[in-house]
Structure 1
Amino acid sequence: MPEFDVVELEPADHLEPGTEAPDFTRPLVTDEFWEDRSLADLVDGQTILVFTPMIGSFVAKYVWDELAERGWLEREERVVGITASTPYGISSFLDENDLPAEVVADPTNEIAAEYGIGHDLDGMTGIGEPRLAFVALDADRTVESIWVADEWPEFPDYDELEAELGLE
């Protein structure tokens, strides 16, 4: 039995396939540095945006461990995380977990809100984080596919997700 309650989230009004992903500029953090980058700068061929809750949460840790184990961080497709954490927190997480990942710091959660996948934490208006979500973009920032959690916590079937995203 889990030691936490599974919470059904309100329906998300997220981007749909065929729509253009909104551009943004935020700090991109790696295990070596961080600097402001726009989504337009990041998209290079197929790009997978991985929205996770706060970077230190068990949900984020599980997702990044799973993606590393499955080889997503070494693929031709670019994988970019987005979380409502500061660059300092992200940098520490990547270093402590030896992850060669790129993660966008969005402590105000504005990107998730603009993409329609933000949610308030435990009913605290104005205090939010992204739902777990995977957004596949083509070279023109057009959404090819999207998976968004309906519950907290909820994880995708990674085999099905890889097939849907064309990562098999």
Structure 2
Amino acid sequence: MEFDVTELPEADHPEADETAPDFTRPLVNAEFWEDTALSDLTAEGPLLLVFHPMDGAFPTTYIWNELLERDLDVEAVGVSISTPYEHKTTIEERGLDEAGYRLFSDPQNGVAEEYGISHDLDGMAGVSEPRPALFLLEEDRTVAYAWVAEEWPDFPDYDELERAVAEL
């Protein structure tokens, strides 16, 4: 597959030891969705917050396939601009429900903007999505590990992520 690698502008995102912003959005699983606050999820234990491009994009597929293969010992929840309907299909097709993974729907991309990782899509005026990013959050939403894409496409060091999860 041929594509251009594009350097992304610097992101002003939450770093390790900072508190991740709270938000409420529809949280989708294989059966239904309901408005849920991030703080409600982290109150149950550590959480990997996975920002990814819209469902169906190759980086999204690659990220979730890698996370499923590694079977990390932490709950993972995604965030993208895809609608709850699209998320429900993705969850079913990718087998994310079997791993207990759920996806927040944020069509206006407000959560990515709040996290400083919004990415304008080339050639589409007024359309943005989150750049790929991972935030490993403790129960009080303190960021234990942060990775944010610096170019398009870019993928995290999954071995480094596994080490960060093991240190929780």
The verdict on a shared fold, with TM-score over 0.5 as the criterion, is yes
Aligned to 1:127: 127
Alignment of 1:93-108 (within 5 A): 93-100=90-97, 101-108=101-108
**Residues 1:167 and 1:34: Cα distance change in structure 2 (over 3 Å):** farther
SS in 1 for 2:25: strand
State the identity as a percent: 53
Whole-angstrom distance in 1 between the partners of 2:18 and 2:95: 35
Which of 88, 93, 115 aligns to 1:91? It is 88
Whole-angstrom distance in 2 between the partners of 1:151 and 1:125: 20
Matched AA of 2:24: T
Aligned to 2:19: 20
SS in 1 for 2:35: strand
Segments of structure 1 that go 5 or more residues without pairing to the other structure are: none
2:78/2:103 contact within 8 Å kept: yes
Whole-angstrom distance in 1 between the partners of 2:11 and 2:151: 11
Whole-angstrom distance in 2 between the partners of 1:129 and 1:96: 22
- Deviant stretches of 4+, over 2 Å: 123-126, 164-168
**Residues 1:167 and 1:108: Cα distance change in structure 2 (over 3 Å):** farther
Matched AA of 2:79: I
SS in 2 for 1:126: coil
Whole-angstrom distance in 2 between the partners of 1:51 and 1:149: 10
Whole-angstrom distance in 2 between the partners of 1:53 and 1:94: 15
Number of equivalences:
164
Whole-angstrom distance in 1 between the partners of 2:157 and 2:144: 18
Structure 1 residue 97 displacement after superposition? 1.9
Q: CA RMSD in A?
A: 1.6
Segments of structure 2 that go 5 or more residues without pairing to the other structure are: none
Matched AA of 2:93: E
Alignment of 1:63-74 (within 5 A): 63-72=63-72
Aligned to 2:79: 82
Task: Name the structure with the higher helix share.
Answer: 2
After superposition, what is the alpha-carbon deviation per residue over 1:130-156, rounded to whole angstroms, capped at 9, x for unaligned? 111110111111111100010111111
Q: Provide TM-score, normalisation by structure 2.
A: 0.91
